[in-house]
Amino acid sequence: MGKTIVLNASPRKSWNTARLLKSAAAGAESVGAETQYIDLYDMDFTGCRSCMLCKRQNAERCRCYWKDALSPVIDKVYSADTLFIGTPIYLGRPTSRYFAFMERLHFCSLSYDDYSNYFEGSVNVGLFVTMNATKEFYERLYKEKFENYADEFKALNGEVCLYPVYNTLQVTDYSKYNMSSFSEEEKKEAHEKCFPSDLENAYRLGAKLSRKSC
How far, in Å, CA of 166 to CA of 208, rounded?
22
| Residue range 110-151, pLDDT digits in tens | 999 999 999 999 999 999 999 999 999 999 999 999 999 999
Nearest alpha-carbon partner for 138 in 127, 148, 130: 130
Give the number of other Cβ atoms within 10 Å of residue 88's Cβ.
22
pLDDT digits (tens, 9 = 90+) for 59-84: 899 999 999 999 999 999 999 999 99
Strand order in the sheet with 34-39: 34-39, 3-8, 82-88, 123-130, 157-165
pLDDT value of residue 213: 53
Q: What type of residue sits at position 113?
A: D
CATH number for the domain whose boundaries are 3-211: 3.40.50.360
Could you tell me the pTM of the whole model? 0.92
The residue count of the chain comes to 214
